[in-house]
Structure 1
Amino acid sequence: MEQQLIRDTPRGRGRVWSTFRSACVSIEQHTCFRILVIVIIVLSSAALMFEDLHLQHRQVLRMVVARADEVFTCFFLMEMFLKWLAFGLKKYFSDAWSWIDFLILQVSLVSLAADSLGLSGLGAFQLVRSFRALGLLRVISRFPGLRGVVQALVRTVPSMLDFLLVVLVLWTAFSILGVSLFSGRFYSCVNETSGERFSPQDVDNKTDCLWRAWGDPGVHWGNQDLNYDNVLSGYLALLQLGLSSDCVEVMYAAVDATWVVSQPSYESNPYMYLYFISFTICCFFTFNFFIRVIIDRLQRDKMSLYSD
């Protein structure tokens, strides 16, 4: 937002209005006022930490948090009016960070209105109240360094799209390969009472399992929650492998898999470890590529800033 104030006329009412706007600009740009704004932002965000499950049973703390929320909202409303008077509506709404401040303030105003009308218990207003956690974004707009980082991340979006396309191609290849290797092979005969899988010596295939299930309702022939029966299911399994540390269930099911209607056997197919090792290495390199794209963007923005 440009900080230069265009004066109206040097005489009469225009001069009074120009002097008033100059005073607003001085207040808004004063170091003490900006520090106060940052302190209020931190306090308003800290107040949200007290809004937990037990707040309803702590009447004094609930009243303090409610009054503090009203004070913080009034302060940010005053700050917004101060910027409107200092820079005008056009300059205010031409800045993306001002839009963020404006929208967060509207959330706070709607939340206060819902509390005063007794509608805060409705699901829609509870959802609106949850967006107040975005108030910490106001801190970013007050520090040029943080703004530069966010703007650099936004500029990396085109490169991220290329990265996502590469990931999509690689994951599609691994999902198709997984379907060809493991489709229909994650089924097993399980004792639902104990939660244990029958050994292949007790149950050889699906037919044996169904015979057992005829006399024992606790016996079940079922599939793993994560499997490779189709490409979409393969994507979900890969997502579990790539983003979660709890991926041994899928890996062990693949290593134990035998035939489509046969009972799995312990490590009957150990070469399938190569599939998961290859996918892990692929995830490692793609993640490093993603980080490198962001770092290169930040370095280019830093060099362009120094050159200017």
Structure 2
Amino acid sequence: MYFNSAFTVMFSVECMLKIMAFGPKNYFRDRWNIFDFITVIGSITDVLVSELQESAFLSLGFLRLFRAARLIKLLRQGYSIRIILWTFIQSIKALPYVCLLITMLFFIYCIVGMQVFGNIKTDPHSQLNNHNNFQTFGDGILLLFRCATGENWQEIMLDCAAGKECEGSGESCGSSYTYLYFSTFNFLCSFIMLNLFVAVIMDNFDYLTRDSSILGPHHLDEFVRVWAEYDPGAT
């Protein structure tokens, strides 16, 4: 509590000094300064509410989020941190295509799984139970997601092998292609599809750090930030 109040006072003094030095017009021209101002107002409100919590009729616990928002100020201090942030932002543009490809893979394998393994009788003592099965599309997607994470996918594969009892009949279910089905799915997801996320992020990080002579949007933001320090009045 005391540390929170101390940091709130420090940030408040910093905000006041900046407004006095740059002037309100130039201060609020910078989006980072606007963020700092909102954070300071929220932090002051958080301290006041914490002091009056016993007599308050309305709980404003969400104001504690402003304490964590102070850490975002670190993005202004380190160039490397901003490069990582820009890498994440640029990667978001390509990630939907990777997600679409993975969705198609899950959809195809789920449809095949429902046709081949949908009639296998569930057993609460096995990996194929009322919550993990191929009887419905939703359960099939969840089961495949579990296999993609590597959780007991071998046991699930063995429970779907040929010779298993069918639901509602004495016939045998399963398929001799079970091992091929689960092995290929696990290989595609674990070693190819999921690594595409890492490949996209690494490719964007390499582009942003490859050559400083190649100008990009992050260089423009850095130029504007440095220029504002030497010419706060934008003269």
Same fold (TM over 0.5): yes
Determine if the alignment matches structure 1 residue 142 to structure 2 residue 87. Answer: no
AA matched with 2:200: V
Matched-pair contact (CA < 8 Å) for 1:226–1:250: no
| Distance in 2, Cα, partners of 1:122 & 1:247 | 52
Matched-pair contact (CA < 8 Å) for 2:95–2:197: yes
Aligned to 1:276: 182
Aligned to 1:233: 139
Determine if the alignment matches structure 1 residue 156 to structure 2 residue 62. Answer: no
Aligned to 1:295: 202
Alpha-carbon distance change, 122 to 165 in structure 1, aligned in 2, over 3 angstroms: farther
1:184-203 to 2 correspondence within 5 Å? 184-188=119-123, 196=125
3-state SS of the aligned residue for 1:297? helix
| Distance in 2, Cα, partners of 1:168 & 1:282 | 12
Determine if the alignment matches structure 1 residue 71 to structure 2 residue 6. Answer: yes
Give the counterpart of 1:112 among 33, 47, 63.
Answer: 47
AA matched with 1:235: I
How many residue pairs match? The answer is 212
| Distance in 2, Cα, partners of 1:246 & 1:91 | 59
Determine if the alignment matches structure 1 residue 245 to structure 2 residue 180. Answer: no
Matched-pair identity in %: 25
Aligned to 1:174: 109
What is the CA distance between 1:134 and its match in structure 2?
A: 4.5
AA matched with 2:186: T
Determine if the alignment matches structure 1 residue 260 to structure 2 residue 167. Answer: yes
What is the CA distance between 1:264 and its match in structure 2?
A: 10
TM-score normalized with structure 2 length: 0.72
Moved more, 275-284 or 246-255: 246-255
What is the CA distance between 1:69 and its match in structure 2?
A: 0.8
Matched-pair contact (CA < 8 Å) for 1:167–1:286: yes
AA matched with 1:287: L
What is the CA distance between 1:82 and its match in structure 2?
A: 3.0
What is the CA distance between 1:294 and its match in structure 2?
A: 1.1
Matched-pair contact (CA < 8 Å) for 1:104–1:134: yes
Alpha-carbon distance change, 159 to 119 in structure 1, aligned in 2, over 3 angstroms: farther
| Distance in 1, Cα, partners of 2:121 & 2:24 | 62
Matched-pair contact (CA < 8 Å) for 2:117–2:160: yes
TM-score normalized with structure 1 length: 0.57
What is the CA distance between 1:75 and its match in structure 2?
A: 0.9
Matched-pair contact (CA < 8 Å) for 1:111–1:120: no
| Distance in 1, Cα, partners of 2:25 & 2:153 | 53
- Please tell me whether Structure 1 or Structure 2 has the larger radius of gyration of its CA atoms: 1
Deviations 1:122-144 (A, max 9, x none): 99634442563454332233101
Matched-pair contact (CA < 8 Å) for 2:116–2:174: no
3-state SS of the aligned residue for 1:306? coil
Matched-pair contact (CA < 8 Å) for 1:255–1:270: yes
Matched-pair contact (CA < 8 Å) for 1:184–1:260: yes
What is the CA distance between 1:73 and its match in structure 2?
A: 1.0
1:4-43 to 2 correspondence within 5 Å? none
3-state SS of the aligned residue for 2:60? helix
Aligned to 1:57: none
What is the Cα-based RMSD across aligned positions, in Å? 3.5
| Distance in 1, Cα, partners of 2:67 & 2:131 | 37
1:51-70 to 2 correspondence within 5 Å? 66-70=1-5
Structure 2 gap ranges (5+): 216-235
Alpha-carbon distance change, 255 to 97 in structure 1, aligned in 2, over 3 angstroms: farther
Alpha-carbon distance change, 276 to 130 in structure 1, aligned in 2, over 3 angstroms: farther
